[in-house]
């Protein structure tokens, strides 16, 4: 149906009364006279909408009524699928904000301690290194915890690739502020870790290599 009228909608609605989806509440037109179908909210936990079997054998239905029901069930299936996406995403993102905030705090602490090493007095060097190593371990563990959460989120995205919702729209509908989160394709996560943990490990390796070079040049044979 490209365009229609209120009268045609009312007639089709009456003709197809035995076949409407349980969530169907009515229909109207937009300002371009295109059909707009209305439904009670879906959760995604319902059975997938499917056209009633009897509709194909009902000779009383006009072609317009059949087309109306087809459009109705297509829209119901779309809304049901998107609702399932949002519901799954809400579950997957539960607790994500806390994990992300923990990671960003621990990462900032690690980077701050490393930056301060350049001005650390020689008498405090080893104590400062010990603090840095502890902060590095903490940041890496926080990154690993985040990657585990991010994988569950990535799996949801992969499971609902056919949704009309963009990721941004899905996050918004799920009341999740993911604007700063690192969530890659689920293929980026494996038994060796995820993208964030790998990035943090590279940073730790670079920091430790720098400290070794500095200590070596300064004549310290046991720098870290």
Chain segment 26-53, per-residue pLDDT in tens = 999 999 999 999 999 999 999 999 999 8
Q: For position 156, what pLDDT does the model report?
A: 97
Residue 158 has pLDDT above 90, yes or no: yes
Q: How confident is the prediction for the chain on average, in pLDDT?
A: 93
In terms of pTM, does the model score above 0.75?
Answer: yes
Structural domain boundaries of the chain?
A: 6-89, 94-217
Q: How far separated are the first and last CA of the chain, in Å rounded?
A: 72
What average pLDDT score do residues 154-167 get?
96
Alpha helices in 17-95 (DSSP H): 63-93
Residues in CB range of 159: below 8 A, 6 or more apart: 88
Task: Report the pLDDT value the prediction gives residue 214, as an integer from 0 to 100.
Answer: 82
CA separation for the pair 38, 122 (Å, rounded): 72
pLDDT at 221: 53
- HSE of 72, CA atoms in CB hemisphere, 13 A: 28
Over residues 138-166, the mean pLDDT reads: 97
Higher pLDDT, 125 or 28: 28
Q: What is the pLDDT of residues 75-84, one digit of tens each?
A: 999 999 999 9
Q: How many Å apart are CA 76 and CA 49, to the nearest integer? A: 6
Q: How far apart are CA 65 and CA 212, in angstroms?
A: 78
Instruction: Report pLDDT for 222.
Output: 58
């Amino acid at each position: 149906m490209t365009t229609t009228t209120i009268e045609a909608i009312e007639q089709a609605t009456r003709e197809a009364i035995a076949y409407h989806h349980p969530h169907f509440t009515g229909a109207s037109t937009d300002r371009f006279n295109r059909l707009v179908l209305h439904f009670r909210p879906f959760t995604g936990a319902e059975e997938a909408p499917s056209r009633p079997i009897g509709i194909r054998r009902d000779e009383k239905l006009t072609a317009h009524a059949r087309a109306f029901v087809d459009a109705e069930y297509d829209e119901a299936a779309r809304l049901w699928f998107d609702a399932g996406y949002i519901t799954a995403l809400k579950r997957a993102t539960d607790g994500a904000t806390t994990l992300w905030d923990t990671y960003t705090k621990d990462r900032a602490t690690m980077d701050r301690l490393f930056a301060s090493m350049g001005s650390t007095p020689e008498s405090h060097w080893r104590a400062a290194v010990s603090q840095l190593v502890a902060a590095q371990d903490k940041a890496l563990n926080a990154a690993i915890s985040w990657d585990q959460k991010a994988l569950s989120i990535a799996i949801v995205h992969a499971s609902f690739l056919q949704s009309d919702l963009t990721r941004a729209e899905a996050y918004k509908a799920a009341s999740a502020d993911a604007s700063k989160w690192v969530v890659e394709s689920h293929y980026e996560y494996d038994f060796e870790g995820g993208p964030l943990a790998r990035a943090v490990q590279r940073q730790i390796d670079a920091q430790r290599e720098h400290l070794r070079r500095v200590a070596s040049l300064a004549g310290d044979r046991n720098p870290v």
